[in-house]
Amino acid sequence: MKPNPADAIFTALADATRRQVIRALSEQGPSTATGLAANLPVTRQAVAKHLSALAEAGLVTATRRGRENLFQISPRPLTNAVSWMADLGARWDQRLAALRDHIAVPRRRR
């Protein structure tokens, strides 16, 4: 099984604070770490750390604005997650075809 981009997404979203951060970001629209921290029960430094983990997973994108980064939700990873599901489906197509062949062949021999 090959590693896939969806892994990074699920891993990033496994953290409750990170989910809070990304929800705040989706509610507030493009924001800085300072702007998000104002509405969250964590420090600006913690928010910045979570944002960089989310950016690494491709869930948010950062653009430089003055001395801070402006973060916004990236829609692309959702597409990746969907394509990961498509990979799962393709794997089952292969497995079930092999299952059918495995069952059909011994029966012909009986």
By C-alpha distance, which of 28, 34, 69, 64 is closest to 52? 69
61: enclosing H helix or E strand: strand 60-65
Sequence-distant (6+) residues with CB within 8 A of 15 are: 50, 53
Which of 16, 23, 53, 56 lies closest to 39 in space, CA to CA? 23
Query: What is the nearest approach in angstroms of another protein to the Cβ of residue 64?
Result: 21
Q: Which is nearer to another protein, 67 or 101 (CB)?
A: 101
* Helix locations, the chain, DSSP H: 5-13, 16-28, 33-37, 44-56, 76-109
Which residues contact another protein (rule: CB under 8 A)? 1, 3, 6-7, 10-11, 13-14, 16, 19-20, 22-23, 26, 59, 73, 75, 78-79, 81-82, 84-86, 88-89, 91-104, 107
Cβ closest to another protein, residue 64 vs residue 103: 103
Shortest distance in whole angstroms from residue 80 CB to another protein: 10
Could you tell me the smallest distance in angstroms from the CB atom of residue 79 to another protein? 7
> Taking the complex as a whole, how short is the minimal distance between the CB of residue 67 and another protein, in angstroms?
27
Q: Choose between 65 and 76: whose C-beta lies nearer to another protein.
A: 76
